[in-house]
Structures are given as structure tokens and as C-alpha cells.
Amino acid sequence: MAKDTTGLDDHQRDFVRLVEATATHRRRFEVFADFCEMSALAISNSVDILQKEKREERYLQIVKKYDPDQVANFPRMLGCIVLSLERGMSDCLGAIFMNMELGNTHAGQFFTPFPVSHLMASLVMGDARAEIERKGFLRVYEPAAGAGGMVVATAQVLLDQGINYQHCMHAFAQDIDALACQMAYLTLSLCHVPAIVVHGNTISLEEWGHWVTPAHVLGRWDRRLKRTQAEQACVPLLVDIEPRPTSPPASEAEEAAAAVVNKRLEQLSLFG
């Protein structure tokens, strides 16, 4: 049982109760992880036809572990997350994850509280309107995305400035942990943030999978991204990475990173 749910809203507390009701013969972590993966798979399969068959097989593999009454709890959990996010953008899943003490303390896994992420994004972003007017949109690169809280906070900062992030921001979020990627993908999808979420190692450039949000597909962001130069390696968070004409020649690492992204965008060309 979660020790204290006072930091959660009513819908988040309902989510925790559903997880605990479903975890009769399984660990709470497994139920939470299965919810995130099945929800991410369901959303992905509505927009990403290139990976649909494989991901549908994975969905059926997970759902077979539960009896019908337990399966019925998973859409109810998703409803709780939707209702919570309707109260305002937040790192809803990250807050629940930390409250239920599901993190890997040995790996130093910790999801930053959303108010802190919002403050950091506000300090870094400044006035984004002039930059958007000059370049058309902002690109956000999050090399250690966690549950996606920092990207959501950045979108909220744009909203605070009266800017529609759905048209003026694209995020590239990456994390080495598969569950974190699924959490980030689910939250970014529900908040309709245009994004590519990558399960991979930012340092070694290894990649094991990628997820495109509905906002990415519906907004034809693959075409918009192809009109700009591919993201470079080792760019600080929230800094637009379009190089200036006076930029020095790209290093071998930067060229390798650009090749990886270009290959990914070619795979997404079907959505254009």
C-alpha cells in the first residue's frame, strides 16, 4: 500500500486504488508497468502503422496475464489519468510512481516534482515568442526524459505565454529505461505534444525502439523536421539546435547522431 496519498489529487488516488485492486497476485510495480505499456501500445497502434502488427502482438501477450475483471480495471486507470490531466498539465504518472515508491533507488531513479520542472523551464525559456516568429517553431531535446515532466513543463510555459505548443514546439525525448519511455509517451500523447520518444542510450547512441505521438503524426512533423537540419549530439535541454551559418564543422559524433535521426525520419515518411 502507498504510505501517503495526500500529495495526489482525487483521480490519482483512484488510480492507485485500481492498481492495488488489480495487484492481487502480482506486484504493484508489474501492474503499473503493464498499464503504461498497454496504454502506450494502444495509442501507438492508432497512428503508427509501421509498428502496429508487432505492438499488437505485444499488447495481447500482456493482457493474457489478467482475468476479465482485472482487464476491465486498465481502461478505468487510463480514465483516471485523463481526468487528472484535465485539471491541468502535469507529470501525473511520475507523481503516482514516486508516491507508490516504485522507483529503482539503486539506479538513482527519481522523477522531479512538476512545480520544480515548471520553474526550471520558465527560467530557461524566457520569452519564446520572438524565437518562434524567427524560426517557425522550437525544438526541445530531452536526453534523459524520465516520465516526460520537463517536456510537459516546457509546453506549459509556452501556454503561460499565450503560445499554442501543439503548433510551435516539437520534442525529442530519450531515456534508457523502457518504462520511463512508455510513461513519457503516454503523458505527451494525452497532452497532445508533438514528440518522438526514443528508448535508447543517449551516450552510446544505441536505440531499441521509438514512439511517435499522435500530435507528431497529425501535425505532419516529419515533413517539418526534414526541412531543418537534424538534431546534433550533446545539446543542452531546451536549446533550439538549429546551427547558425557561422557554426564550426560538425564533429564525427555529431554527424553520427544526425545520421541516426535522419534514418528515423525516413522511416516516418509514410506519415507525411
Sequence ranges of the domains in the chain: 10-102, 114-242+262-271
Length of the chain, in residues: 272
For residue range 177-197, list pLDDT tens digits in order.
999 999 999 999 999 999 999
Looking at the predicted structure, is the pLDDT value of residue 110 above 90?
no
Could you tell me the pLDDT band of residue 231, with boundaries at 50, 70 and 90? Answer: very low
Q: Which amino acid belongs to residue 69?
A: D
Q: Which top CATH class is 114-242+262-271?
A: alpha beta
For the chain, how far is it from start to end, CA to CA, in angstroms?
Answer: 46
Q: Has residue 242 got a pLDDT over 60?
A: no
Contact 193, 157 (CB under 8 A): no
Closest CA to 66 of 91, 33, 40, 43: 33
Q: Any residues with CB less than 8 A from the CB of 260 and at least 6 apart, and which?
A: 205, 207
Quick: pLDDT tens for 153-177: 999 999 998 999 999 999 999 999 9
Nearest to 21 by CA among 57, 64, 71: 71
Is 7 in a helix, a strand, or coil?
coil
If we measure between CA atoms, which residue out of 158, 139, 159 comes closest to residue 226? 139
